[in-house]
């Protein structure tokens, strides 16, 4: 996979719209034919909003005055894109909620329903929540892609249920 965009954001709710804008613009810049796929752009915006909002709402990234999170977008062979949000939430894993009476807490259910794949990786002082989507338009030929970096999912199937 090839890194096509990376940015650090302060952990405040006002930046979520910027996260959506950056993610969509990175994709269109690197894969211009994606601009014609409104469904793909909507899904990227929706899912990056969900995981960025979770980083702000449920981790030190949004609770600490100097809290922040990092967003990365990768473009891979076979028409895959991966978006990652690395936050400061190393102590706990994300939880899927099923309570129909709650007014919120369905972001991970949306992620599981829309993404081709998704997962969570823990780091020394944080965690990364990521998702992948398939691009229907072919990836431009002649582009060299690095092999996917070795990654170990701590919640490989638990989060997908």
In order, the DSSP letters of 59-103 are SHHHHSTT-EEEEEEEEETTTEEEEEEEES-TTS-------TT-S
Cα 58 to the center of its chain, rounded Å: 15
What pLDDT was estimated at residue 123? 82
pLDDT in tens, 34-78: 889 999 999 999 999 999 999 998 887 877 778 899 999 999 988
pLDDT digit string (tens) for 90-111? 665 555 555 555 555 567 888 9
So what's the pLDDT on residue 88? 85
Please give the average per-residue pLDDT across 18-27, as a whole number: 95
End-to-end CA distance of the chain: 26
38: left (phi over 0), alpha (psi -120 to 50) or beta: alpha
Q: How confident is the model at residue 161 (pLDDT cuts 50, 70, 90)?
A: very low
pTM of this structure: 0.76
CA distance 161 to 159: 6
What would the pLDDT profile of 120-146 be if each residue is shown by its tens digit? 988 888 899 999 999 875 545 444 343
Taking CA atoms, 10 is separated from 88, 102, 108, in Å, by 12, 28, 22
Pairing of strands 2-10, 68-76: antiparallel
What angle do helix axes 38-58 and 107-114 make, rounded to 10 degrees?
A: 150
Give the domains, in start order, of the chain with CATH numbers: 2-160 (3.30.565.10)
């Amino acid at each position: 996979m090839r890194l096509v965009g990376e940015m650090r954001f302060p952990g405040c709710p006002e930046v979520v719209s910027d996260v959506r804008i950056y993610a969509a613009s990175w994709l269109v810049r690197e894969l211009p034919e994606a601009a014609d796929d409104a469904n793909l752009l909507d899904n990227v915006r929706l899912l990056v909003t969900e995981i960025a909002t979770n980083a702000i709402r449920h981790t030190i990234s949004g609770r600490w005055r100097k809290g922040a999170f990092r967003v990365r977008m990768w473009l891979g062979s076979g028409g895959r894109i991966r978006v990652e949000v690395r936050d400061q939430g190393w102590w706990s894993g994300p939880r899927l909620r099923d309570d129909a009476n709650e007014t919120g807490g369905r972001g991970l259910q949306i992620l599981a329903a829309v993404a081709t794949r998704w997962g969570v990786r823990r780091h020394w002082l944080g965690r990364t929540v990521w998702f992948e989507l398939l691009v229907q338009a072919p990836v431009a030929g002649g582009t060299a892609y690095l092999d996917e970096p070795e990654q170990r999912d701590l919640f490989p199937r638990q989060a997908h249920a």
